[in-house]
Amino acid sequence: MSLKILITGGAGFIGSHLAEKLIAANYSVSIIDNLSTVNKTNLPAKADFYQKNIQDPLLIDLFKKIQPEVVFHLAAASRISSSNQDVLNSNIIGTYNLLNCSKAVKVKQVIFTSSAAVYGESKKFPIKENFPTKPISAYGLSKLTGELYCQFFHPYFTSTIFRLANIYGPRQDSSAEGGVVAIFIKNLLQNKKSFIYGDGQQTRDFVYVEDVIKAMMLALGDNKSNIYNLSSNQEISVIDLLKQTVELINRKPEYSFKKSRKGDIKKSLLDNFLIKKQFNWNPQTSLKQGLTQTIKYFQSL
């Protein structure tokens, strides 16, 4: 009998890719998503889908029905524009509710997607997992709180925490602030102007979605509760990212600068030594290869 896996946020960008790979590997997959920022388009046909908010007190009834053995917790209010109340409801209250339900049905492992945002403005690079955490946004604070709640539940199940760098690839939401790759590609294909917040010299660590999914699947069954940076360990400035995307699409770019947004960090570069060592994982996709695949996806829409 195949392992029963539940994915929260499984209709989203990362979650839908994960669901597809798990189903292809013959796992039994259920998905919870409230569809607040996505629709059912990305849902794999072979997954059992339930439209629900993770902070719903009746979530426990669904857990008792599904009886998951492993939970991938990806659901989150993740936009910079999300209100503090939305972030609190989804990312803190929702995460606690989900962990409580996992305890009640004796889940073996929870795999939680945290964020580079927990570090805030680091002073040393690349950032290692044991560096200070000092988030400067409500989102980063909520993800750090989620991590701490995962650790609070350690007596009941293993928790694997991934602090994600900037994930990009097919299906990325071009209307979300964090989806800068998708935004640049869509604007270039539609001959629209792109806006760069700040001076464009802020750097990010981009890792392709398929590499991320491989790491998550390698963590299945891990019996140690650990925190891992999930990154490429390479940085590129936002302005250089735009230039590289322009070269691949061969369009004349139109862009202008806007004031930096509150909660945006200046530099992000995550050390990925621990995850390489633990799971024998390496990102296989170069930025050029990943951008090419992502461009093809948007051209096919």
Active site includes 50? no
DSSP-based three-state secondary structure for 181: helix
**Cis bond upstream, residue 126 (ω within 30):** yes
CA 58 – CA 117 distance, rounded (Å): 30
159 to each of 43, 70, 75, 177, 178, how far by Cα in Å?
25, 10, 16, 28, 25
Tokens 């001959």 found at:
191
CA angle at 29 for the pair 113 and 106, rounded to the nearest 5°: 70
Query: What are the φ and ψ backbone dihedral angles of 42, each rounded to 5 degrees?
Result: -85, -5
Q: Amino acid letter at 102?
A: S
Strand ranges in 10-131 using DSSP code E only, listed in sequence order: 28-33, 48-51, 70-73, 109-115
CA 250 – CA 154 distance, rounded (Å): 51
CA 80 – CA 91 distance, rounded (Å): 13
Tokens 């951008």 found at:
291
- 81 in Cβ contact with 60 (< 8 Å): no
When computed from its CA atoms, the radius of gyration of the chain, rounded to whole angstroms, is: 19
Helix boundaries (H) for 153-251: 180-189, 209-218, 238-249
**From 119, 139, 208, 228, active-site residue:** 139
Positions annotated as catalytic residues are 139
